[in-house]
Every structure is written in structure tokens, then in C-alpha cells.
Structure 1
């Protein structure tokens, strides 16, 4: 009997191989031949799944984005307001090697999106999903009295997005130093600025 191939599993294996090569050596080293070899496949075996390297990078970005969203969903379950907002941010910030590797995938994707309208639309859709979540968490926090700043939520969401994506860039370009940058402390300091001032001592 002919061997039954799980095509979805094979795509994920190829994406994982792409992830490992980019994390170790950068996107320029992630040739189709190197990816096939890393995954243990013949070079021609990639073509039915990803006709070009661009298709593979696009799928890898989608895979990373979905992984991050799965962690966000898991770690925000049962949380609302500022607690949910903080949990969201922790899953995007490059706080460990796994999340740092995710940053190494998405940054090359951003570069490709500059000149590829399809990738640009994919990135815009992804970031709009995150912005929608942040607006929801901020709305909950205001309703609970956890956020009192007069700064509009539009600006706060923009600040948070810049913080999160900027942290990914810094971590990917300065991997030897990024764990010492106190990202969680920076996040907590920002969130503290949104909260009501503590009462004056009597």
C-alpha cells in the first residue's frame, strides 16, 4: 500500500525547519535546499507545499502569529482588565528563547511586507486583531476603575504596540543583552502610569 502522507503535518515540519534555520543563521540562510535538508526531505519535496520561499515565509509568519494567539488565549483565560492586558503583553514580549525565536521570524516577514502587498495585508490584519484585543482589555480596565488616565485609549494602544514590537526588534538584533533589559519591569512601569494614584497617607 502507498504511504499515507499527512500534508498538514508536513507543512508544520517544514515551517519548524524554517524557524530553526532563521533563528540560527538568519533569513538569507533559509534557502529552500537548506530548509528541505533541515526537515529531512528531498529538495523537490517542498514544491507541492510551498512553491517559493516567499510562500514559506508567509506561512511561517501565520504559524508564529497563531502560536502567540494560542498562548494569549490560554494565559488570559479567567483574567479581565489590567490583568488580561498584562498577560497579553507578556506573550508578545521576547521574555524567553522561544519568544525570541518568534521575533526572529516576524522581523524578516516585516521586511518582505514592505514590498509585497499580500504580506502587508496579512500583517495589517494580524496587528488589527491585537489592537482590538488591547482596546477590549483597556475598556474592561476603565470600567473596573483600574485605569484612570485621561490619555485616550487610541494613544495607549499605539504606545503598547510600539513597545511590544520594538522590544522584538531590540531582542532580535541584540540577543546577548535583551534578557537584561527588564522588559517586564518596563511593562509594569507603563501600566502603573495608567492607574489611579494611591491615596495620600492620613
Structure 2
């Protein structure tokens, strides 16, 4: 009887192997052959799932984004306003090895997106989704009296999103396994400015 393969699970195994390779060797070291070897598969086993390294990178970026959103949803629960905004940001900030490795996937994706309209579209849609969520949480916090900054919420959401993405760049460039100190404190400082 032939072995039944869970294709979704196989894709996730390949993405996890990709993360490990990129974290260790960078994007250039993440060849399809190395990824297959890391995942314990034959080189040809990747082709049905990811015909090119670019398709694998797109899937990996989408998976990172979805995983982050799942973490955010779990942590937020029924939170609203400023508490929810803080929790959202803390899940995006690269404060541990897992999220630093996620940043190491995202950075090469951004590099490719500069000259690839499809990847740029994926990034823009993802960031538009986060900006919408951030604006909603800012509006809730403002309605509760927790935010008094005389700056439009759309501008504040853009600033906060830029801060979160910049933190990912800083973490991706830091030595392996060393989170950037002070990121959570910088977030608290920013949120304090909004309340002043």
C-alpha cells in the first residue's frame, strides 16, 4: 500500500528547513538541494511543492505572516485598545530566537520584492492588513482615553509599523541568538508618548 503524504505538512517541513538554513547560512546558502538535505528529503522531492527557490521564499514569507497573525490572535483574545495594541506589537517584535529567525526570512523576501511585482504585492497586502489592525486598536485606545496624541491614527499606525519592521531588520543583522536589547522598552516609550 503506498504511503499517504500530507502535502501541507510536507510544505511546512520544507519551510522550517528553509528557516534553519537561512538563519545559519543566509539566503544564498539556501539552495533547494541544501533545503532538501536539511529536511531529510531527496532533492527532487521539493519540485512538486516548490519548483523554484522564489516560490519557496514566497510561501515562507506567507507562512511567517500567518504564524505571526495566529500568535497575535491567541494573545489578544478579547483585549482591546492600548492593551491589545501593546500585545500586537510584542508579537511582531523579534524578542526571541523564533521571531529573529522569522525576521531572517522576511528580509530576503523584501530584497526580492524590490524588483518583483508579485512579491511586492504580497508584502503590500500583508502590511495593509497590519496597518488596518493597528489603526483599529489605536481608535479603540483613543475612544477609551488612553491615547491623546494630536496626530492622525493613520500616521501613527504608519510610524508604529515602520518601527516594528525596522526592529526586524536590526534583529536580522544581529549576531545569531542575540535579541536586540531595549526593543520592548522602546515600544513602551512610544506608547507613553501617545498617551501624553
Query: TM-score normalised by the shorter chain: which range applies?
Result: over 0.9
Matches within 5 A, 1:1-202: 1-175=1-175, 179-196=179-196
Shift of 1:108: 0.3
Shift of 1:181: 2.7
User: Do 2:95 and 2:180's aligned partners in 1 also have CA atoms closer than 8 Å?
Assistant: no
Kindly provide the CA deviation profile for residues 77-129 of structure 1, in whole angstroms up to 9, marking residues without a partner as x: 12111100000000110101111000000000000101111111000000000
**Root-mean-square deviation (CA), in Å?**
1.2
- In structure 2, what is the Cα distance between the partners aligned to 1:180 and 1:4? 43
- Gaps (5+ residues) in structure 2? none
CA 1:34/1:128 → structure 2, altered by over 3 Å: closer, same or farther?
same
Whichever of the two has the greater Rg, that structure is 1
User: Do 2:18 and 2:30's aligned partners in 1 also have CA atoms closer than 8 Å?
Assistant: yes
- In structure 2, what is the Cα distance between the partners aligned to 1:167 and 1:153? 21
| Matched positions, count | 196
User: Do 2:85 and 2:134's aligned partners in 1 also have CA atoms closer than 8 Å?
Assistant: yes
Partner of 1:101, secondary structure, is helix
CA 1:155/1:177 → structure 2, altered by over 3 Å: closer, same or farther?
farther
User: Do 1:82 and 1:138's aligned partners in 2 also have CA atoms closer than 8 Å?
Assistant: yes
The alignment's TM-score, normalised by the length of structure 2, stands at 0.97
The alignment's TM-score, normalised by the length of structure 1, stands at 0.94
User: Do 1:170 and 1:178's aligned partners in 2 also have CA atoms closer than 8 Å?
Assistant: no
Shift of 1:66: 0.5
- In structure 2, what is the Cα distance between the partners aligned to 1:170 and 1:57? 20
